[in-house]
Homo-oligomer: A and B are copies of this chain.
Amino acid sequence: MSLRTQMTNLARDAKRASLQVAALAKNEKNKILKDMAKALQKNTVRILRANAKDVKNGRRKGLSSALLDRLRLDEKRIALMADSILEVARLHDPVGKILREWKRPNGLKLRKVSVPLGVILVIYEARPNVTAECVSLSLKSGNSIILKGGSEAYCSNHILATLFRDVLKKNNVPQAAVSFVSTTDRKAVDALVVLTEYISVVIPRGGEGLIRAVVEKSKIPVIKHYKGICHVYVDEAADLTIAENIVLNAKLQRPGVCNAMETLLVHAEIAPFFLPTCVRRLQSRGCEIRGCSKTRTLLRGVPGIRRASREDYETEYLDLILSVRIVDSLDEAIEHIRTFGSAHTDAIVTENKRVAQKFIDTVDSSSVMVNASTRFSDGNQYGLGAEIGISTDKIHARGPMGLEGLTSYKYIVLGKGQIRT
């Protein structure tokens, strides 16, 4: 059977299964989620054994230590995975919610009700915990999921999917509701992303290269963010203690994630009072600074400040490197963010409410913050529950995308024989 036929059958079965998942009651879904969490706990040894194979292969292939760390599971990480599934079980059911209800003059009663999307295709890289997150969110939202993980985590993802599918079977739900692409052939993705008849949405999670490749080939809507080039702008009316706390937190607390700051913008009026100390503190924590010419002039004498190029402003370092630029005005800061930003998360530090409001109104990013660290841009931090991804698109879901983003709606019209005149 050709790869194309295999993928078509897989997607068709997932679609068929989605009709049954959509019809599951809230309690049934939560029971399955609890069973899934239990299955992880019970099978910790099997999971660790499979994961060890991936780690061994990864070492042989020369994966970086950062990647190996993302790949590696231990008892604690498996327990956290199980906890995250239980957390999803506790969230509100996003399906069947009456979003609006109204009556027309002719007596027609209308309801707009949330419904599942159908089938979700998730394409992801090395972190096996993504498997558990995505399965639990798609099941809770009444959808089928197709999992296409990276080859580095194949054995780990495979055992997790097998355990979840066993739970489905025991609960009389078609196993195709959690479909697992069991080939590591990259063409599988090409074959899947054209199946508009069966798959509602594609969510790629991983590096920009992976995501661009998916977008290039997909005929199905893709929800994504390419990268997070997040800015903090320290306004001339900033409280400098707040500014420094936020800058250090946004850059240093976890530099390898998409909501970490990549570029610091500082108003020229305040730069002399702010940058010298702040840069020293960043450097003392191991952060490399790349500055604009004004920054370098201001900080001449401070060693190790490379010149920031245009390319630096466009780069998501995901590392202990920071671009610093001094701007003459709020408008210049906004223009910089418009030119180089990725519309993910951008923050201003200011005590001036008018300035803050202008920043809020004109920075067109999925999250805009005033006097808070960009690191808060996250479904859990926002209190939205677990997220399946972050979207910098404006279509369907924007920002942290949780259960609500995995639903659509239908209009229900109740009449007594009304006809149109």
Contact = CB atoms under 8 A, between A and B. Distances in A.
Contacts of A196: 215
Interface string A381-421: 11100000000011110111000000011111111111111
Chain B CB within 10 Å — which of A239, A373, A394, A416 has the most? A394
B360 A412 contact: yes
Contacts of A366: 410-411
- How many copies of the shown chain assemble into the complex? 2
Give the interface size bracket for A toward B.
35 or more
Contact of A372 (B371, B400, B418): B418
B394 A398 contact: no
A228 to B, nearest CB: 14
Interface stretch (A110-118, A122-130, A289-297, A300-308): A110-118
Q: Tell me the interface secondary structure of chain A in the complex.
A: mixed
Interface in A117-170: 117-118
Given A201-B395, A381-B420, A415 B117 contact: no
A110 B377 CA distance: 11
Interface string A354-374: 000000111011111111110
A346 to B, nearest CB: 11
Given A367-B412, A398-B408, 11 more contacts: A102-B383, A117-B395, A246-B419, A366-B411, A367-B411, A368-B412, A368-B413, A369-B412, A369-B414, A371-B415, A377-B413
17 contacts: A117-B395, A196-B215, A221-B393, A221-B396, A242-B416, A249-B420, A364-B410, A367-B412, A368-B413, A369-B415, A372-B418, A373-B418, A376-B413, A376-B418, A376-B420, A377-B413, A399-B411
